[in-house]
């Protein structure tokens, strides 16, 4: 089952770089709206340099504590409760350590930012995000860091939930509904049904041999999807109060349609991962990987099953 989305604690890992700080506007807004407390985390990386491609990188305890204390004070001035924790023993696997701290401190949501593909300006890159998502049980809100040094405002206008034909995307619905409730945005449930021209894989050749039959079958699938989404929308009031729900069935290539959706209106796109194999696929050419690589985000990524985080650390410190 997907982890329950009860975000009394929001875990916000930081390395000192502007890219990592892209999550702070989201942390501030969600902490106030939910409400929740923000736990700022820095994990000392074994052998970490002080700067990576010109970006600041926290490498020792005193520098990290001073930095996190300042960030916590900024959040407090904005009305968001915040504490901080520095994991002192240097680790080689930063993502696993982040996931384990989330489990120990009962974080209901992990907030991460990442650079675009192939941009390794800090350890806060796609590889770190991938590792956290693989090991963490809590949902992950993943934001893309912009090129500017100032963090962009977090102001989604809708929370979208991608439902696939196998209905595994339903695992993201509880977290997405509660996020929409906290943000005061509508919740959009949508499915993408291919056209004859965009039928994937082995089915493509057969569809093009008998295009009229394939078209009729796909039209029927789209109609069934519309009815299914309406039934699914009926569950939302039990997950989050006062959330407005809309449904949509789109036609075309799923990755292209989902990417366009993220660019059409500022919003969060919720995707369910499918266990360890699915998580690996998410970053190696699957639909989810293509959407994350090309879409504007943010993305809410949810485990349908518990992950494997396990770690022991000291309690967080207050600001």
pLDDT tens digits for 176-186? 998 999 999 99
249: pLDDT strictly greater than 80? yes
The predicted model scores a pTM of 0.83
46: pLDDT strictly greater than 80? no
When the pLDDT of each residue in the chain is averaged and rounded to a whole number, the result is 79
240: pLDDT strictly greater than 80? no
User: In terms of DSSP bridges, do strands 55-56 and 51-52 run parallel, antiparallel, or are they unpaired?
Assistant: antiparallel
Q: What is the pLDDT of residue 295?
A: 73
| Cα–Cα distance, 35 to 217 (Å, whole number) | 47
| Residue 66 binned pLDDT confidence (cut-offs 50, 70, 90) | very high
Q: What is the pLDDT of residue 258?
A: 86
Which is more confidently placed, 301 or 26?
26
Percent of the chain whose predicted confidence (pLDDT) is above 90: 38
Which residues are bridge partners to 190 per DSSP?
Answer: 162, 248
Q: What is the pLDDT of residue 165?
A: 74
118: pLDDT strictly greater than 60? no
Which is more confidently placed, 52 or 69?
69
| Cα–Cα distance, 295 to 143 (Å, whole number) | 11
Q: What is the pLDDT of residue 149?
A: 56
Q: What is the pLDDT of residue 277?
A: 41
Per-residue tokens: 268: 């969060």
pLDDT tens digits for 216-235? 888 999 999 999 999 999 98
Range 9-146 has CATH code 3.40.50.620: yes
Q: What are the strands, taking DSSP E only, across the chain?
A: 9-13, 37-45, 51-52, 55-56, 82-91, 109-114, 140-144, 159-162, 187-193, 245-251, 268-272, 299-302, 317-318
CATH 3.40.50.620 in the chain: give the residue spans: 9-146, 159-297
Q: What is the pLDDT of residue 283?
A: 40
| Residue 312 binned pLDDT confidence (cut-offs 50, 70, 90) | very low
Q: Which of 185-189, 203-207, 214-218, 283-287 has the lowest mean pLDDT?
A: 283-287
301: pLDDT strictly greater than 50? yes
Q: Which of 39-53, 67-81, 125-139 is the most confident on average?
A: 67-81
Q: What is the pLDDT of residue 319?
A: 45
Q: What is the DSSP string of 25-55?
A: HHHHHHHHHTT-EEEEEEEEETT--SEETTE
Give the residue among 149, 130, 258, 279 at the shortest CA–CA distance from 198.
Answer: 258
| Cα–Cα distance, 121 to 300 (Å, whole number) | 24
| Residue 4 binned pLDDT confidence (cut-offs 50, 70, 90) | very low
Greatest C-alpha distance within the chain? 69
| Residue 206 binned pLDDT confidence (cut-offs 50, 70, 90) | low
Range 159-297 has CATH code 3.40.50.620: yes
246: pLDDT strictly greater than 90? yes
Q: Which of 167-171, 187-191, 251-255 has the lowest mean pLDDT?
A: 167-171
Neighbours of 161 (CB within 10 A): 31
Q: Which of 148-152, 296-300, 310-314 has the lowest mean pLDDT?
A: 310-314
């Amino acid at each position: 089952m997907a982890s329950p989305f009860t975000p009394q604690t929001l875990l916000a890992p930081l390395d000192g770089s502007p890219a990592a700080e892209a999550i702070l506007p989201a942390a501030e807004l969600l902490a106030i709206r939910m409400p929740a407390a923000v736990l700022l985390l820095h994990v000392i990386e074994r052998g970490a340099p002080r700067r990576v491609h010109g970006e600041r990188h926290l490498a020792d305890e005193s520098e990290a504590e001073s930095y996190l204390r300042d960030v916590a004070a900024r959040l407090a001035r904005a009305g968001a409760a915040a504490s901080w924790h520095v994991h002192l023993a240097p680790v080689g696997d930063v993502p696993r350590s982040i996931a384990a701290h989330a489990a120990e401190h009962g974080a209901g949501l992990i907030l991460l930012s990442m650079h675009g593909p192939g941009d390794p300006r800090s350890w806060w890159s796609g590889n770190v995000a991938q590792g956290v998502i693989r090991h963490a049980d809590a949902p992950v809100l993943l934001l893309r860091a912009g090129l500017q040094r100032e963090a962009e405002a977090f102001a989604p206008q809708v929370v979208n939930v991608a439902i696939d034909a196998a209905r595994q995307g339903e695992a993201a619905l509880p977290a997405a509904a509660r996020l929409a409730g906290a943000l005061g945005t509508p919740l959009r449930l949508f499915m993408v049904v291919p056209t004859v021209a965009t039928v994937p894989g082995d089915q493509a050749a057969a569809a093009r041999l008998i295009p009229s039959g394939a078209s009729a079958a796909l039209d029927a699938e789209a109609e069934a999807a519309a009815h299914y989404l309406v039934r699914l929308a009926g569950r939302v009031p039990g997950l989050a109060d006062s959330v407005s729900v809309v449904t949509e069935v789109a036609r075309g290539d799923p990755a292209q349609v989902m990417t366009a959706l993220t660019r059409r209106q500022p919003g969060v796109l919720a995707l369910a991962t499918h266990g360890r194999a699915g998580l690996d696929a998410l970053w190696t050419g699957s639909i989810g990987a293509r959407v994350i690589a090309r879409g504007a985000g943010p993305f809410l990524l949810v485990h349908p099953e518990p992950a494997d985080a396990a770690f022991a650390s000291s309690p967080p410190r207050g600001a």
